[in-house]
Amino acid sequence: MHKIPVTVITGFLGSGKTTLMRHLLQNNQGRKIAVLVNEFGEVGIDGELLRSCQICDEEDNPNDNIVELTNGCLCCTVQEEFYPTMQQLLQRRDRIDCMLIETSGLALPKPLVQAFRWTPIRNGATVDGVITVVDCQALAAGTLVGDINALEAQRQADPNLDHETPIEELFEDQLACADLVLLTKVDLVDEATLTRIKDWLQDQLPTGVKVIPCDQGQIQPELLLGFNAAVEDNLDNRPSHHDTEDDHDHDDEINSVQFISDQAFEPKPLIAKLQQLVQQQEIYRIKGFVSVPNKPMRLVLQGVGNRFDSFYDRLWHNGESRQTRLVLIGRKLDQADIEQAIGS
C-alpha cells in the first residue's frame, strides 16, 4: 500500500495558511485530501472553515477527513495527540491521496517532521514537502508578523508549548526547513516593494528553494504537491536553532473567550464595536462567524490587532443554528465583559 504524501504548511499567525488550504481543498482536482488543523481556542474556527469547502463525498463524515489538534502546538504535542491521530488516518490510507498539516503560528517545523521517522508512521506516510507562508506586508513594514502582540499572546497562552523561541530565530527555522516559500498579501504592497522583499527572502533561503508571490491563496495545487522530498530523511540539511529546548513557564493571564449569540449583526457596526473593544482591552486576535440580518450566507470575520477582514463563505444550511460565534484571544479577558460589550 502506498505511503501518504504529507505537505506541512507553516508560517506565522495571520500569514494566510488557512486561506491557502481553503483554495487547495476547493481545487483538489479529485484528490482525497486529509487535513490536520492546529487550532487555538475551544471553538475550532479554522477547522469549520475548512469543512465548509465540502470536499468530502456524501457518504463520508467530514469530521473523519478533517482533524483539529486543539491541545497546543503540533511540534510539542506529537506524542500526546499527533501520533494517535496519524495512526487513525493511516488505517484509511487506501482512501487518502495526500494529507495537509497546518501548524500553529509558533510551530517549529523540524520536530514535527522528525515524528515521521517513527516506524509506525514512516511505514505509511512521508513528508512530501514543507511550505512556508510569509506575510509580505509585514516584512515591508519591518516586522516578521502582522501583529507581534497577537503572536506573543498565542505563545504565552499555549500550555503545551515547550519552546520559547525568539521570533527572528523561529522565522529562520521556518525558512530553513522550507521546500517552497509562498509570499502572501502581495496586493497590499507596490511592485518595487514586492521585488525588494522577494529578493531579500531569496537570499535567506537554501539554494534551490523558490519564493512565489501568492494572492488570496490562489495558486496551482501542482506547485505545492508532489515534491517527493522525503523530508524526514533529509533533516541534516535543514538546520534548526532549536532542536532541543528547555521548559519554561507561560503567562496564565493570556486566555481565550468565546462569544456565542443568536443575535444577528450588521458587519460594519459590529467591526466598529470590536475595534473599540480592542482599544479598551488587550485583545490580540478575533475570529469567527457572524449571522447577518436578511442574509442567507454566513459571514466569516477575522481580526488581528485593529485590522479586520470579512467575507461570506457559504449559505447557512437548512436546520443549522444561525448563531454568531466569535473567539477572542487576549490578556485577562472577562467573559461577562466581552458578552456585554459585543451584545449590547
CA dist 58 and 53 (Å) reads 13
- Crossing angle for the helix pair 167-176 and 191-204, nearest 10 degrees? 80
Topology given in CATH for the domain delimited by 4-237 = Rossmann fold (3.40.50)
Q: In the predicted model, what is the mean pLDDT of the chain?
A: 79
Query: Could you identify the residue written with the cell 487518502?
Result: 96
| Of 143 and 153, the one with more pLDDT | 143
pLDDT digits (tens, 9 = 90+) for 165-196: 567 888 888 898 888 899 999 998 899 999 99
The structural domains of the chain, with segments of one domain joined by +, span 4-237, 254-343
- Structure confidence at residue 246 as a pLDDT band (50, 70, 90): very low
- Structure confidence at residue 42 as a pLDDT band (50, 70, 90): low
CA dist 22 and 31 (Å) reads 14
Residue 17, all three cell numbers: 495558511
Residue 297 has a pLDDT of 95
- Percentage of the chain lying above the pLDDT 90 cut: 21
Average pLDDT on 135-149 reads: 72
| Close Cβ partners of 223 (under 8 Å, ≥ 6 residues apart) | 180, 212
Average pLDDT on 83-101 reads: 86
Q: What is the pTM of this model?
A: 0.70
pLDDT digits (tens, 9 = 90+) for 214-243: 888 788 777 777 767 677 776 666 666 555
| Close Cβ partners of 267 (under 8 Å, ≥ 6 residues apart) | 290, 292, 299, 301, 310
Identify which of 159, 133, 152 has the alpha carbon closest to the alpha carbon of residue 18: 133
Topology given in CATH for the domain delimited by 254-343 = Hypothetical Protein Yjia; Chain: A;domain 2 (3.30.1220)
CA dist 340 and 344 (Å) reads 6
pLDDT at 75 over 50: yes
Residue 215 has a pLDDT of 83
- The DSSP output letter for 81 is I
Average pLDDT on 324-333 reads: 85
Residue 248 has a pLDDT of 37
